[in-house]
Structures are given as C-alpha cells and as structure tokens.
C-alpha cells in the first residue's frame, strides 16, 4: 500500500542527502531479502483506508483464490504447520505441542476452526469449502484443548499466560498464539464476511459473530507475526512450497498487520516515532548521522545504538530498513509499539556499517525507520503522516601511510653526507624530504613522523629529538632537518631512526616502517691568517695591528696579548715583515 505523504517528506529526503553530505542518495531503498514476503505487486490495489481498504483487501484475497476443502487440511497441515525443528511433526495451536503430522482420524490432532463452525453458516464435512475449509482459518489442535475451547469467543485484552478458559464462556489462546488468532479472525471477517455474513463484535457474540474485537486489536500489537506465522501464510499461498493444496491467496493481516488500526479502530492513529531526544521537523522525522575515517582491516566500524521513541496512545508497526553497507538489528516491517498509556516508550536499535576486508574506499549506508500506520486523519506528523527517521553513516577507509625517502619508490634508509665546514663558521642545516607514497589514489592515509633514536656522534650531527611531523598527505612530503654543528672539529658519523604512523585522527591507525638516516660530516680547524686583532674576521681593522707586528713584535704582543703574532706570517717563512704584505692585502680583498 502506498502511504500518503506530504511536502515534509521531500524536505526530509533533502535533509538526509545534504545535511551530512554523508550519503549518495538513491531513489529507491533496496528491499531486504525475505523468503515469506508477498509478490511485490500483490497489494498494489490496497491504496485506501477504513472501509475502502477493507473492500480492497477483500478483492485482493478473493481474486484467484483456490478454495480448499476441510478434508484437504488433513494432509496440507503437514506442510504449512510443520514443526521447524522436525519435518515429520506439526505444531498445534494454543500450546504449540509438537505431534506427528500423519492424519489418524483425529486421535492425535484434529482440526480447529478459529471461527467456530457453529458461528458461521454451513457444517463441516471433508468436502466443505469456504471459511470452514480455508486453511487460513483453520489450525491443528490437540483434541482435549479443542474440546476445552468449544465455540467460545476470545478475550480479554490484558490477559496473559498460557491458553485457558477464562469463565464466562471466554477462551484465552495463550501469549504465543494470541496475535496469530487475531489475524486469522481479521482474515475471515474481511475475506468471508461479505460472502457469509460473518462479523466481529466487541460484545458477547450471537449468530454468526465472533468476539471480542478489542482484545483482538490489542493482541495484534502485542504479538506481532513471527517466523512460524509468516512461513505458514506463505506456504498456504505458494504453489512452490505447497503444490497440491496451495490457495493462491494470502492473509493480508499477516503481511500488513498495520492495516488493522485503519480498518477496525479509526483514521486518527496518534503514534509518532523519532530518535531521542526529539523530532527534527514538525512532521515527526529525525535524522542522525555518524561518520568515521578508518584504516583498512577486517573490521566493522560505526557500531552505534540509537534510541527510537514513540509517543501517543495508539499501537503502530514500524519497519527498519538497512541499505548500502549499513546493518541494523532488528530489521524488517514487523517491529511494533503496542497501545499504551500515552507515555513515551522506547526501543534500542543497533546500527552499523560493514566494511570489506582490506579494501580502501568510501562506504556508506542508511537505516530508515518508517511508521507503517496508514491513517491520515490524525494530528499532522502522526500515524500515516509521521516522517521517516533516518540514520546515515559514512566511512572513509584509507590504505596505510607509507613513508619513503624517494618520491617514486619505497626507500626506508638513506645516507646523507653534509660535507665539511670550518669551526666557527656557523652550523650547516639541510632538509631531508620524506615522502608519503600513494598506494590507493584518493584513499591513502596521511603520514605522521616522530623522532625515534640516535646513535653515534649525535652532538655534532643532529636531528631534533622533538621532531613531530603530522598529516603529510599522500603524494606530498615533509622535511626532516639535519644539522652539522661547528662547535667541535673532526669527522663525524651518526645514525638516526624515525618512527612513522598512519594519521592519528583515523580509527585503527597503526605504526609503519622505521626510517633510517645515516649522517656524515666534518668540521675543520678555522684559519686565523690575517686576523691580527683577533676579532674573528679579516678586514681593514687588521691593518694597524699588522703594521705594528711588522715594526715591533714586543709592542704588538703588549697591545694584543691574546693574539699570536704568527697570524701575520702570510708567506710562511716564520717572519712577519714586508714580504708578508702582499699576502695580507690578498686576505683583505678576498670575498
């Protein structure tokens, strides 16, 4: 059935698509695989509400209906009422007693009319058809329970426990079967009521009536269709599962238990569903979004629990649909909030995002909660006008970062010779690029680098122990600075290791390969030739001291006691005299 929607629904879809930029929206949500689901078009004609909907279901369930006899049930029960745990046995109604399926003339099990044969036209014989022979209206029963039930109506709404007679000619079918019984009676009333004049009532039944309607409505929401009931419905219908006795029609109230409110109560269901803490729009819809950046691995991430709330007095069914890579528990369309006092009720829904093992890429999914009620006469944003509630999830799955000293190949160690400098000339610093290789274009983690350890002449050849480079994009590089200090003379050798990591902003990041840098360099003794005033440079300030050294060595030693007069011996003949003048001028003019 197509639920009536309004403009708020369009706003909700736009919000889901754009608000988180998390999901590439699709026009249709893929259906969950369900072996007991009706054909996709079976209920296409069920478009109305109330009496109109009931009439539409009558036509749907009547069209193509192959009536089976009361006698056929002796043999078809072995197929549609089969014990899931033992294919040679069947389950009895009211107590789910497992008994051999072979018909033995009613000694082990007999045929229970959920709508008693005494409360409908005709009498039961093996050739009887109509509601009397319809397997949707029959159940196998152990004889003593069948006799105890007699032709009593069912009640009452708040009764719980095992099947039993309640006194006052009322029978309780038990918690396991009360919803099943209700939906069988809704079927009989809808499919056969117009033909046979049978009807449901909320008073003590008379004639061809069955009761109590208020209990049946409550039980429909307290005991939703389970696997056994849904399999039974499909097997009765299906020629594949039940080639000799299939009916080619279905119980609409098992496939769509949400139709009950509109047909049997009113058109003003007041239920509203939303994620805590509250709705995001006036039509009741709510959106929750989760995203993560993670590193490849065999993991499922984004596991979350969302709280689904329901307000309103009226019961409602809701579907949980997971699409894309999303998962949810529970799923399907048979989730339910029963009628309540009007206080807010809640259910927890587990959602997740499944990621393929070791495959970088972008993965997304939606979990959609749909209030399935079809009534549209109640408050806006309730019942059939209640907007969907959506959880959107996105995971960016990245391949590991890969640090390398080469932009085009995986190189984890490098030798770097810093050459030589003179003592006192200042430190020499160079940049050593470390590249983050692209392993998965568009989905490679950023690279983080930290100092590891250093061995050797680490006072002369330095890499900062506080080194920390972060978020180096794939295809880019970061620079590690290496320094040769001029503080001491000699030849030096040091080896440093660097630790590499996937970006620490990603889930499941790991440490990568260790990078090794081998450094060499030398510091020479500084030349003092020509520096006659010992200020560390050779310039025109040295002319006076040089002249004094040539004229009077003693006077030079007194004026510059910290300086060696041999600084003026530029020709190397152990004397400071006029023959050194040309060399001194050359030192001055040297750039």
Identify the pLDDT of residue 309: 97
Identify the pLDDT of residue 92: 98
Inside any domain, residue 44: no
Q: 366, 352 in Cβ contact below 8 A?
A: no
Are residues 119 and 227 both part of a single domain? yes
Inside any domain, residue 19: yes
Distance CA 545, CA 565 (A): 9
Tokens of 403: 């640090």
Are residues 80 and 198 both part of a single domain? yes
Residues 6+ apart with CB under 8 A from 272: 279, 284, 310, 311, 312, 371, 381, 382, 386
Identify the pLDDT of residue 17: 33
Of 347, 377, 398, the last residue of a domain is 398
Inside any domain, residue 382: yes
Q: Would you call 512 helix, strand, or coil by DSSP? A: coil
Are residues 20 and 62 both part of a single domain? no
Are residues 327 and 439 both part of a single domain? no
Inside any domain, residue 215: yes
Residue 132 domain boundaries: 50-263
Inside any domain, residue 275: yes
Distance CA 547, CA 570 (A): 13
For the chain, the distance separating the N- and C-terminal CA atoms, rounded to the nearest angstrom, is: 93
Identify the pLDDT of residue 591: 63
Residues 6+ apart with CB under 8 A from 341: 313
Are residues 277 and 384 both part of a single domain? yes
Are residues 469 and 380 both part of a single domain? no
Q: What are φ and ψ of residue 347, in 5° steps?
A: -135, 140
- Interaxial angle between packed helices 543-551 and 581-589, expressed in degrees from 0 to 180 and rounded to the nearest 10: 170
Inside any domain, residue 171: yes
Are residues 222 and 317 both part of a single domain? no
Inside any domain, residue 411: yes
Residue 230: which of 31, 34, 2 has the closest Cα?
Answer: 34
Q: 165, 149 in Cβ contact below 8 A?
A: yes
Distance CA 135, CA 129 (A): 10
Identify the pLDDT of residue 27: 32
The 8-class DSSP code of residue 556 comes to H
What does the DSSP assignment read for 124-189? --TT--HHHH-GGGEEEE-HHHHHHHTT--B--TT--SS-EE-SSS-EE--TTTHHHHHHHHHHHH
What does the DSSP assignment read for 275-343? ETT--SSTTS-EEEEEEEEEE-SS--EEEEEEEEEEESSS-EEEEEEEEETEEEES-EEEEEE---SSS
Inside any domain, residue 583: yes
CATH code, domain with 344 = 2.60.40.10
Of 366, 398, 430, the last residue of a domain is 398
The neighbour count for residue 239, using CB atoms within 10 Å, is 12
Distance CA 288, CA 326 (A): 13
Tens-of-pLDDT digits for all 591 residues of the chain?
A: 333 333 233 233 333 333 333 333 333 333 447 999 999 999 999 999 999 999 999 999 999 999 999 999 999 999 999 999 999 999 999 999 999 999 999 999 999 999 999 999 999 999 999 999 999 999 999 999 999 999 999 999 999 999 999 988 999 999 999 999 999 999 999 999 999 999 999 999 999 999 999 999 999 999 999 999 999 999 999 999 999 999 999 999 999 999 999 999 999 999 999 999 999 999 999 999 999 999 999 888 889 999 999 999 999 999 999 999 999 999 999 999 999 999 999 999 999 999 999 999 999 999 999 999 999 999 999 999 999 999 999 999 999 999 999 999 999 999 999 999 988 779 999 999 999 999 999 999 999 999 999 999 999 999 999 999 999 999 999 999 999 999 999 999 999 999 999 999 999 999 999 999 999 999 987 667 888 898 878 888 989 998 898 999 999 889 999 888 888 888 888 899 989 888 888 877 776
Beta-bridge mates of residue 318 = 335, 371
Identify the pLDDT of residue 220: 98
Distance CA 208, CA 115 (A): 9
Of 236, 263, 290, the last residue of a domain is 263
Identify the pLDDT of residue 323: 97
What is the enclosing helix (H) or strand (E) of 398?
Answer: strand 389-398
Are residues 218 and 250 both part of a single domain? yes
Identify the pLDDT of residue 300: 83
Distance CA 226, CA 219 (A): 13
The neighbour count for residue 449, using CB atoms within 10 Å, is 22
The neighbour count for residue 4, using CB atoms within 10 Å, is 14
Are residues 148 and 297 both part of a single domain? no
Are residues 356 and 493 both part of a single domain? no
Q: Would you call 31 helix, strand, or coil by DSSP? A: coil
Are residues 174 and 285 both part of a single domain? no
Burial level of 507, CB count in 10 A (0-12/13-18/19+)? middle
Residues 6+ apart with CB under 8 A from 440: 360, 361, 398, 399
Residue 365: which of 12, 16, 51 has the closest Cα?
Answer: 16
Are residues 229 and 122 both part of a single domain? yes
Q: How many domains are contained in the chain?
A: 4
């Amino acid at each position: 059935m197509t639920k009536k929607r309004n403009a708020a629904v369009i706003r909700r879809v736009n919000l889901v698509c754009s608000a988180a930029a998390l999901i590439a929206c699709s026009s249709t949500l893929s259906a969950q695989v369900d072996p007991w689901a009706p054909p996709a078009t079976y209920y296409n004609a069920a478009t109305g509400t109330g009496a109109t909907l009931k009439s539409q279901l009558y036509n749907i369930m009547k069209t193509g209906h192959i009536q089976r006899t009361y006698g056929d049930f002796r043999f078809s029960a072995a197929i549609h009422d089969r014990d899931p745990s033992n294919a040679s046995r069947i389950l009895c109604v009211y107590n789910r007693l497992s008994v051999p399926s072979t018909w033995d003339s009613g000694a082990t099990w007999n045929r229970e009319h959920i709508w008693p044969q005494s409360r409908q036209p005709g009498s039961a014989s093996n050739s009887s058809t109509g509601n009397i022979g319809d397997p949707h209206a029959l159940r196998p029963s152990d004889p003593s329970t069948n006799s105890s039930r007699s032709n009593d109506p069912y009640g009452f709404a708040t009764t719980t426990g095992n099947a039993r007679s309640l006194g006052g000619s009322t029978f309780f079918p038990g918690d396991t079967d009360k919803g099943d019984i209700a939906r069988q009676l809704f079927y009989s009333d809808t499919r056969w009521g117009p033909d046979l004049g049978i009807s449901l009532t909320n008073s003590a039944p008379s004639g061809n009536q069955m009761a109590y309607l208020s209990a049946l409505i409550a039980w429909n929401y307290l005991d939703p269709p389970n696997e056994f009931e849904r399999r039974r419905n499909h097997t009765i219908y299906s020629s594949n599962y039940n080639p000799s006795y299939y009916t080619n029609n279905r119980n609409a109230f098992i496939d769509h238990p949400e139709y009950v409110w509109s047909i049997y109560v009113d058109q003003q269901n007041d239920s509203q569903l939303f994620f805590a803490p509250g709705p995001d729009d006036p039509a009741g819809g709510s959106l929750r979004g989760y995203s993560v950046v993670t590193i490849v691995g065999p993991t499922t991430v984004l596991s979350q629990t969302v709280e689904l709330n329901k307000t309103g007095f009226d019961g409602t069914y809701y579907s949980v649909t997971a699409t894309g890579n999303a998962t949810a528990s529970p799923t399907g369309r048979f989730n339910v909030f029963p009628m309540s006092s009007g206080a807010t009720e809640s259910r927890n829904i587990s959602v997740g995002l499944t990621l393929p093992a070791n495959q970088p890429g972008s993965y997304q999914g939606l979990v959609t909660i749909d209030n399935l009620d079809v009534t549209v006469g109640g408050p806006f944003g309730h019942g059939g006008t209640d907007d969907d509630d959506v959880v959107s999830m996105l995971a960016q799955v990245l391949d590991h970062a890969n640090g390398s000293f080469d932009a085009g190949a995986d190189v984890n160690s490098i030798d770097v010779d810093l050459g030589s400098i003179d003592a006192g000339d200042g430190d020499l610093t160079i940049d050593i690029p470390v590249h983050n290789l692209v392993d998965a274009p568009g989905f490679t983690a950023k690279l983080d680098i930290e100092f590891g350890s250093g061995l050797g002449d680490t006072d002369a050849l330095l890499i900062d122990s506080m080194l920390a480079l972060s978020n180096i994009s794939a295809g880019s590089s970061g620079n590690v600075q290496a320094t040769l200090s001029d503080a001491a003379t000699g030849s030096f050798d040091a080896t440093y290791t660097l630790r590499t990591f996937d970006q620490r902003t990603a889930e499941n990041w790991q440490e990568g390969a260790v990078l090794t840098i081998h450094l060499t360099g030398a510091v020479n003794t500084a030349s003092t030739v020509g520096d006659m005033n010992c200020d560390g440079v050779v310039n025109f300030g040295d002319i006076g001291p040089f002249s004094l050294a040539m004229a009077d060595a003693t006077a030079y030693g007194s004026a510059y006691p910290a300086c060696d007069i041999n600084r003026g011996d530029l020709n190397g003949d152990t004397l400071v005299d006029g023959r050194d003048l040309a060399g001194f001028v050359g030192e001055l003019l040297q750039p």
